[in-house]
Chains A and B, each alone.
Chain A
Amino acid sequence: MSSPSELERDFATALLGGPDEAIITAIQGDGLDPAARVAIYRNHVFVTLTAALEATYPVVVRLVDRRFFAYAADRYIREHPPAGPCLFEYGATLADFLATFPACRHLAYLPDVVRLEWALNRALHAEDAVAIDPRSLAAAPPDEIGRLKLRLHPSVSLLESSWPIDRIWRANQPGEDPEATVSLDAGGARLEVYRLEDDVVFRPVPPSTYAFRQALACELDLQSAAEAARSADPSFDLTDALRELLDDGLIVGASATSPSPKNEGQRCKPTQRPR
């Protein structure tokens, strides 16, 4: 008799495509090869997790073809099974996985499209948060404004790509002309993704806005964020930039101390990949 953890480990190993010798010794045949019984469970694991990835990445499925996606998903599931029970949180690392997946090395733009779809998915399910009252910022003493740290709405992601991922995404929406093509030389994109009411939207943002909001997402204070923005565009105006952010309702907290780092990290990863 195996201990509880051994049996579960043996079963999990077999379910993720590893050897099933250990678990089948613990199983009764009941008129069928025990390995065939394990295969019923394994099939469910792969079918449902592949379906979950397909639901999160519909444009990627369209770009690479459903059969290829299922092939890549099979490898991804084996190497990166879910770390939590919520399917809408599964697949965060698919972009990094596909970036080094030999079979799609020729699709250099693909990982960034994956990142865009992940940002859209993430925004849809991000925690709710209420925008701060603009007057609360106006009330801060002018000499302390620069030291404030602003917390962006949890749905916000900033993405930078050398590829026209926004055009690629739009051209692959249901109902779009299937014959339409996007030139990969059409230039890169700097995008902001966020949730607006019940919808998730994205829009291109200018370099200084991108640098400013990315710095805020990385928990830099306002002064440092403004410096980052000015290095992208010397004409950057902090007052205007703050007003825009407040008008967009994307500031959900302001503090002189560091906000909880729990929700960050991921947004601060560089998203640009060399072409």
Chain B
Amino acid sequence: MIARDERSGVLPAHVGVGLRAPHVAEVMATRPAIAFFEVHTENYLGGGPAAAALERLRRDYAVSLHGVGLSLGGADPLDRRHLLRVKRLVERIQPALVSEHLAWSVDGGAYLNHLLPLPYDAMRLHATSLRIEQVQEALGRTILVENPARYLRFRHSPIPEPEFLGELARRTGCGILLDVNNVYVSSRNFDEDPLAYLNAVPAHAIAEIHLAGHATNHADGRTILIDDHGSRVAEPVWDLYRATLARLGPVPTLIEWDTNLPELAVLRDEAARAEQLLLTAQGRAHCVVAE
């Protein structure tokens, strides 16, 4: 189970929106009815107006801190300075959730600003588990770990990704952030079955869902989907989301949008669509209880 910090509250089983800098002023001024906001941790590790605005926002909303820089799956030693800064922000903001990625991003001190794939083998399972434990110990709370969007597979990678994630959760007590768009993108890129993937992730460990748009590229006569967070959620991803909710019941869900950021209203529109599906799942969950 996910340990909860009493002061931080929990994410409601409703739909939140990824908050990006161009929308901050509007959100602060209009206080829209959005269940929670998620921000990229690394954008708030300095002082000045950004972190101060997040602190003010936190008074009225549940906030989730979503990190991209801890390189949980990497070979470099854990960046202690970075972890300390994350810890200070967590203490200041008291987020409902802290999440990171099953990926790596730094080699020999050079940060590549990307969530890079790792081979899934026993050695890396052990190393990544230790890394997650180090982070959880430093933060004094469990974190969620997200499945990455992938554009390549390694020749030597004997453990399927959902199993690798499930084993990380079992060993460390971390939760899983299931990015349904990433499941779709990766599965399509390797001609795998996304439903089989979804069903292989341990349901009890999933504490949040991400939804986003992707781009369709063509390379050498092959279609490659790119997780660019630059459009509305695609119809097949909505279908997978429905299937996920049917399996899990209602789970806090986030709409993410990063490139070609539209008006906040478009994100709220996407959130409303997801909320409808969540309500349906909620109704179904109640029916199950009534039976």
Residues of A within 8 A of B (CB): 1, 4-5, 7-9, 11-12, 15-16, 25-28, 30-34, 36-38, 40-41, 44-45, 48-49, 52, 81-89, 123-129, 154-155, 195, 198
The distance from the CB of B266 to the nearest CB of chain A, in whole angstroms, is 21
A183 to B202, CA, bound (A): 67
Residues of B within 8 A of A (CB): 42-43, 45-52, 68-71, 74-76, 79, 81-82, 104-114, 116, 119, 121, 123-124, 127, 151-156, 189-191, 217, 219-220, 222, 224, 226
The distance from the CB of B108 to the nearest CB of chain A, in whole angstroms, is 7
Residues on A with C-beta less than 8 A from B121 are: 1
The closest CB in chain A to the CB of B217 belongs to A40
Say yes or no: A40-B226 contact (C-beta < 8 A), given A7-B119, A33-B220: yes
Residues on A with C-beta less than 8 A from B152 are: 27-28, 30, 34, 37-38, 40-41
In the complex, the answer to whether B42 meets A86 with C-beta atoms within 8 Å is yes
**B-side binding surface: helix, strand, loop or mixed?**
mixed
In the complex, the answer to whether B46 meets A86 with C-beta atoms within 8 Å is yes
6 A-B pairs within 8 Å (CB atoms) are namely A12-B112, A28-B155, A85-B70, A86-B69, A126-B46, A129-B47
Residues on B with C-beta less than 8 A from A12 are: 107-108, 110, 112
User: What is the total of A-B residue contacts with beta carbons within 8 Å?
Assistant: 139
In the complex, the answer to whether A8 meets B74 with C-beta atoms within 8 Å is yes
A84 to B190, CA, bound (A): 32
A9 to B110, CA, bound (A): 10
In the complex, the answer to whether B154 meets A27 with C-beta atoms within 8 Å is yes
Say yes or no: A85-B108 contact (C-beta < 8 A), given A28-B155, A44-B114, A124-B48: no
In the complex, the answer to whether A52 meets B107 with C-beta atoms within 8 Å is no
- Among A8, A16, A89, find the residue whose CB has the most chain B CB atoms closer than 10 A: A8
Residues on B with C-beta less than 8 A from A37 are: 151-152
In the complex, the answer to whether B220 meets A36 with C-beta atoms within 8 Å is yes
A36 to B218, CA, bound (A): 11
A40 to B153, CA, bound (A): 13
Residues on B with C-beta less than 8 A from A8 are: 74-76, 104, 107, 116
A38 to B219, CA, bound (A): 12
Given contact pairs A8-B76, A12-B110, enumerate 16 new A-B contacts (beta carbons under 8 Å): A1-B121, A8-B104, A9-B107, A16-B110, A27-B152, A27-B153, A28-B153, A30-B191, A31-B191, A37-B152, A40-B224, A40-B226, A84-B111, A85-B82, A127-B47, A128-B51
